[in-house]
Amino acid sequence: MKTTTCLLFSLFCFPLLAQQHQHHSHERGIHFPDTRDYLTLIVDLHSHSVFSDGSVWPDIRIQEAVRDSLDAFSFTEHLEYQPHAADIPHPDRNRAHDLGEELARPYDLMVIRGAEITRSLPPGHTNAVFIEDANKLIVDDPMEAFLEANRQGGFTFWNHPNWVAQRKDGVAELTPMHRELIDKGLLHGIEVVNDLTISKEALQVALDNDLTIMGTSDVHGLVDWQYHVHEGGHRPVTLVLAEEKNQASLKAALMAGRTVAWFQNTLVGKEEHLKAVVEASLSVEDAAYRGPSSVIDITIHNESDCEYILENTSGYSLQSDLGLIELHPNASTTIQVMTLRQLASVDLKFKVLNAVTAPEERLEITLSVKADN
């Protein structure tokens, strides 16, 4: 059964966290506020440099991550695929991470050690992050690679399960090997969002098997060119709801599945986590009737980079539009609601059209608004 979120916008509704943090270190930085209970960490745990099949040196990746105000980032170079080996024949699969970690030291950026286990389907491509040594994952048996990643304390997630190079129909579907990996606790997440694609089948796989929902760039070229940042675009990321900003807390949150993927102005996640992000983003700044009329002006502030698109399902008519409301990012929007008589409080119900909780379902929220006298 769908549930609704009651957003009681007051000073007492969202007590300040003991450790809040700021994403806006750069004008273009990706920004989502911390939730009631957790810090909202912005992470991209899938990328490539020239040390596998990417086009840039690791310093470019670090500079991009800093400009995007990421909290955490990972180089996940292919273990079994090294097309630049004739020019950069470095034998250490940890090299990109080690360079990146050193380059990131002046910044508030966690660089997570990772690698991409690159096999034909099954199991396909899989990222292992929070590992200790990528070289030890280079083994003949793919199952042994997963075992080693888990022995090292890694978090593993299935990459681009809808990739047409391995799935000609583009449909993400579990294989018997994936079911075995899940049953043995060796596979923890799945990319619902990868680069320029989103997969509703992968989302259903995540929901059915309690896998962590991931969104990543898998960037090989330049972030700015791939995602048209100069035109207002953004790289795909995962919003991770963590207790603290450190690697242990980030990993714990990923293992617990507290994530929301952000892709082309669309949020995708399990309902409770998506609800927490939307609740944290929206607040009512003002609500007052127009003199003796029964039309109330309600001003809603959106403290996030997502432009929320709301469908009015409350039963009240709006004078400001015909039912669809756009709440612009990091801005305030005023709507006019016709309540037929003056009320002390108004419950407004909305469906958030770009907040996806299941393949055909959107998050439903209720804004409880108290009218000013």
pLDDT tens figures, 248-279: 999 999 999 999 999 999 999 999 999 999 99
Do 216 and 259 fall within a single domain?
yes
For residue 319, give its domain range: 282-370
Same domain, 53 and 190: yes
Residues 201 and 88 in one domain: yes
Residue matched to tokens 């612009």: 328
Q: Report how far residue 148's alpha carbon sits from residue 219's, in angstroms, rounded to the nearest whole number.
A: 26
Token couple for 171? 């449909």
Q: Indicate the number of domains in the chain.
A: 2
168 domain-assigned: yes
105 and 148 within one domain: yes
Is residue 10, in this structure, part of any structural domain at all?
A: no
Give the per-residue pLDDT at 308.
98
Are 305 and 211 found together in one domain? no
Helices (H) and strands (E) in the chain, counts: 8, 20
User: Which of 236, 269, 302 is the last residue in one of the domains?
Assistant: 269
The verdict on residue 342 lying in a domain is: yes
On the question of a cis peptide bond just before residue 123, with omega within 30 degrees of 0, the verdict is: yes
3-state SS assignment for residue 135: helix
Report the pLDDT value the prediction gives residue 22, as an integer from 0 to 100.
59
**Structural contact between residues 45 and 127, judged by C-beta atoms closer than 8 angstroms:** yes
**Domain end residue (candidates: 269, 290, 316):** 269
Closest CA to 252 of 270, 240, 238, 239: 240
Residue given tokens 């991470």 in the structure block: 97
| pLDDT at res. 20 | 57
Q: State both tokens at 299.
A: 């001003």
Cα 266 off chain centre by: 10
Query: Can you give the pLDDT at residue 140?
Result: 97
Q: Are residues 216 and 137 in the same domain?
A: yes
Question: What CATH number does the domain containing 303 carry?
Answer: 2.60.40
pLDDT for 323: 78
Q: Which residue type does 103 have?
A: L
Amino acid residing at 159:
N
With a cut of 50, list the residues of the chain below it in pLDDT: 1-19, 24
Distance CA 128, CA 157 (A): 7
Task: For the chain, state the CA radius of gyration.
Answer: 22
User: Is 156 inside a domain boundary?
Assistant: yes
- 181 and 56 in a common domain: yes
Give the separation between CA 164 and CA 304, rounded to whole angstroms. Answer: 33
Q: Are residues 213 and 334 in the same domain?
A: no
DSSP strand pairing (345-358 vs 324-327): unpaired
CB atoms within 10 A of CB 100: 25
Whether residues 254 and 321 share a domain: the answer is no
Nearest to 67, CA basis, from 108, 102, 111, 26: 26
Q: Buried (b) or exposed (e) across 149-161, using 16+ Cβ within 10 A?
A: bbebebbbbbbbb
202 and 318 housed in the same domain: no
